[in-house]
Structure 1
Amino acid sequence: MIAGAIGGGLAFGPAAARPRGERLKVLYNRAAQEHYPDQNPVIVIPGILGTRLVDGASGQTVWGAFDGLSPMSSDKSNVRRLALPFGDQSRLSGVAADLNPIAVLDRVSVKVLGVPFQLRQYAQILSTLGAGGYRDETLHPTGLDYGPGHISCFQFPYDWRRDNAETAAALKRFMDEKRLVVADGYRETLGYDVAPESIRFDVVAHSMGALMFRYFMRYGGQPLDTYGAGPTLDWTGAAYVDRAILVAPPNGGSAETMRFLLEGQDFGRPVAPRYPPSVLGSFASIYQLLPRPWASPIDGVDGERLFDARTWIARGWGLAAPDQDAVLATLLGDVTDPLRRRQIALDRLQDSLTLARRFHAALDSTEKAPAGFEPFLIAGDNVPTPERFRFDAGRGRLSPVSLVPGDGAVTRSSALFDHRTPSTWRPRVQSPLRFRSVLFTEQDHLGLTQTDLFSDNVLFWLLEEQRGERLERYAL
């Protein structure tokens, strides 16, 4: 931070330090009070695990609120509820909608030994946009001067277990609905009569949400089938978006995904339950976070074979692990034959791997977005992050053999989609992606959204940085 006097006598220094919210108000409230046509409505897209999921029948929160005494992985009903449903017909295209996405997880409600407390998740992203003058439907920061008008900030909640192309179609429907809402607001509050189809959004997307958003930009709501022709690149989503801030996107995948799929994940017992591999492996989306074949995240396993279920069967990985039958029996309660249960699980595994390869191929083409769209990148580069693992068959565990700069989950090179390797290193980043600006931070995967540096730069890019100066076409 630069000490001294800046604009109108505002001093920054130890004796004049302001609380974060106060400083952001001084910097950005005036810009925030300028609305259409100078500012766009904003949509916040969380990553995997970032939306509260509620059982449609009972109304009970299945993900997003935890009791340290109850929802353990040994609770069969809890396991069954969070898994993406199987069935005798396990193809992903026929998966029923069993849980309702309610809201972006600003905080995770936790109860340990009967004492409630909260863990911050996306609260700072939402409060950052609130500090900038954006209205949010469920989170209303207090003490800020929004001016006589308003502009909307919308959370996009989605079922993060499902195929990202399916979620992209839901995002298109969401944007169509919010265009109508914003047009009504412009007319009633600001006196502008704006055609809904002319309204563009700015987007702040985190982690897997950024990958789904990139698919939406390229293909709109086109499905991504395991069989048949792939989607047609038509840049449908570009008509909806002006500026996008991609936060910690695993553009090249994340090796940590292998740990989730092979070992399951403990989200912090006794605060949160442990989910076994067969539950996490039921999610179509998680395979779409796997690294590209050339990255070879497991020593001794060719990256191409990683997307073939026969590799998983031969090594007893994930849904193919023999010790997962007890959990599969709870997930497929109506299927009493163990061999039939296993075949259903293997069908889901192969479908998910095939769909992941098609998702990667859809994102990896090098065509540039239409002129006028501006992508920004925020990524971590200071936390040692697994790039490659070794699998210990005896223990059934992974151990990292290569750690590189990143945010603990996504490496710096993955966020940049940098194709350089030690044997092909060059001075310049070798990536098909192009960003208008890149910000590197020292925090971890979620923590990088919870700093003043993040808030300050996001608000500057959304509210103050000039637009339309450059007409380059950026790759996305």
Structure 2
Amino acid sequence: MRRALHAHFDLATGDCAVDGRPANYFEFAYDWRRDNRVSALRLKAFLDRELAKWARTLPYGRPKTVLLCHSMGGLVAKYYLDVLCGWEHCRALITFGTPFRGTLAALDVLANGVHALGTRLNAVSDVLGAFTSVHQLLPRYPVLLDRSPGTPPGQRPGHVHLSPVRLGTLDPARASAAYQDFHRRMDTHSPGPAAPLLPVVGYGHRTAQTAVFDGKRLRITTDPAALGADRRQFATGDWSVPAVAAIPVEAPASTRPATCAGSPARPRTGCATSRTAATPCTGASAGWTPRPPGTGRTSRSAWSGVAFTSPWAPDRVLAPVPR
């Protein structure tokens, strides 16, 4: 990614830890073990510092940031944009495999622990169970099926944060706080994206979709039993993040993976994003860019498409969705 950006854009690299001369490319590192809200506050402080430098020197408009985010970095950026009023300073948010709706991999770690060579690593499992950030990665959509003895058949899947059963090191209080104070705050405090939001979604790999509790332990499976009939086309992913979880909750219900006519198993290839004259910045997940006059959108229409990556095709797939 770094090489591609430098090859296509005129970038001046800066150091996030140094308050130096204006630059237009930064790689923002954050501590994944900490609460993502803390990382978002650090991101805001950093961007406020750097954007102010360009605001004093640019002869036009206001500088804007382009955020390129991978995995949990997208959650940090999204919290900054939605809750900390970052959208007004953002030109675009592009995410790669960000678990906007959580991931069953986090649930597996908290419920069953970390294993190596068939042995549970108790110390590592207990430490991870104490991290707020890991609880913030729990699925926020119904994935939990109760198959305990005596449970009536046909029950609908439930939410992990509402589970009455203690699952390994999963802390119900932390899980509930992660849902209400982290994810739901992004839902309720967001003024609506003021810039394009493009999630790049992994597609075509076997990925965990459902958690089944049998009365004794939690079993994570790729069976899409927890997905409704209208979401079965998303019973895939990038091996770690389910496709349905990598699409933000703001996405229209009509979002669909694009497929090639006559070849339903092979997604259509195409360019996910168009090249612009702006200078993008990246990191783990942040950067910023000045915004020339007359460029970019002035409306709050954020959805131009969802990009799906696939092991069958070298390019990305663009699935258009209504604005």
TM-score computed with the length of structure 1 as normaliser: 0.45
Deviations 1:264-320 (A, max 9, x none): 336x89xxx997321111110111111124x224544886563258521xxxx3327
Deviations 1:393-412 (A, max 9, x none): 76x57341515211111222
Letter in 2 for 1:157: A
Kindly state the Cα deviation for residue 471 of structure 1 after the two structures are TM-superposed.
Answer: 2.6
Distance of 1:219 and 1:429 partners within structure 2: 21
2:63 matched to which residue of 1?
A: 199
- Quick check: 1:318 aligned with 2:168? yes
Aligned residue pair count? 255
2:247 matched to which residue of 1?
A: 416
Distance of 1:274 and 1:303 partners within structure 2: 29
Does structure 1 conserve the Cα–Cα contact (< 8 Å) formed by 2:145 and 2:211? yes
Letter in 2 for 1:205: C
Deviates more, 1:408-417 or 1:153-162: 408-417
- Quick check: 1:210 aligned with 2:74? yes
2:284 matched to which residue of 1?
A: none
Distance of 2:212 and 2:222 partners within structure 1: 6
Distance of 2:111 and 2:7 partners within structure 1: 41
- 376, 381, 388: which one aligns with 2:210: 388
1:296 matched to which residue of 2?
A: 143
Q: Which structure ranks higher in relative contact order (CA pairs < 8 Å, sequence separation ≥ 6)?
A: 2
Alignment of 1:77-226 (within 5 A): 125-132=1-8, 133-137=10-14, 152-182=24-54, 187=57, 192=58, 198-220=62-84
Distance of 1:275 and 1:406 partners within structure 2: 30
Distance of 1:275 and 1:381 partners within structure 2: 34
- Compared CA separation, residues 370 and 418, structure 1 to 2 (3 A): closer
Deviations 1:338-370 (A, max 9, x none): xxxxxxxxxxx2442122121222233496526
Kindly state the Cα deviation for residue 462 of structure 1 after the two structures are TM-superposed.
Answer: 6.8
Does structure 2 conserve the Cα–Cα contact (< 8 Å) formed by 1:243 and 1:375? yes
> Secondary structure of 1:378's partner?
strand
Kindly state the Cα deviation for residue 127 of structure 1 after the two structures are TM-superposed.
Answer: 2.3
> How large is the Cα RMSD of the aligned pairs?
4.1
Does structure 2 conserve the Cα–Cα contact (< 8 Å) formed by 1:309 and 1:353? no
TM-score computed with the length of structure 2 as normaliser: 0.64
Deviations 1:157-184 (A, max 9, x none): 1111122222211111011122245457
- Compared CA separation, residues 385 and 264, structure 1 to 2 (3 A): same
Between the two proteins, what is the percent identity of the paired residues?
23
Structure having the higher Rg: 1
> Secondary structure of 2:69's partner?
strand
- 179, 183, 204: which one aligns with 1:360: 183
> Secondary structure of 2:100's partner?
coil
- Quick check: 1:398 aligned with 2:219? yes
- Compared CA separation, residues 172 and 462, structure 1 to 2 (3 A): farther
Does structure 2 conserve the Cα–Cα contact (< 8 Å) formed by 1:297 and 1:388? yes
Distance of 1:169 and 1:244 partners within structure 2: 17
Does structure 1 conserve the Cα–Cα contact (< 8 Å) formed by 2:143 and 2:211? no
Distance of 1:414 and 1:473 partners within structure 2: 22
- Compared CA separation, residues 319 and 411, structure 1 to 2 (3 A): closer
Does structure 1 conserve the Cα–Cα contact (< 8 Å) formed by 2:66 and 2:93? yes
Instruction: List gaps (5 residues or longer) in structure 1.
Output: 1-124, 139-149, 221-235, 321-348, 420-427, 442-452
Distance of 1:193 and 1:472 partners within structure 2: 25
Letter in 1 for 2:246: A
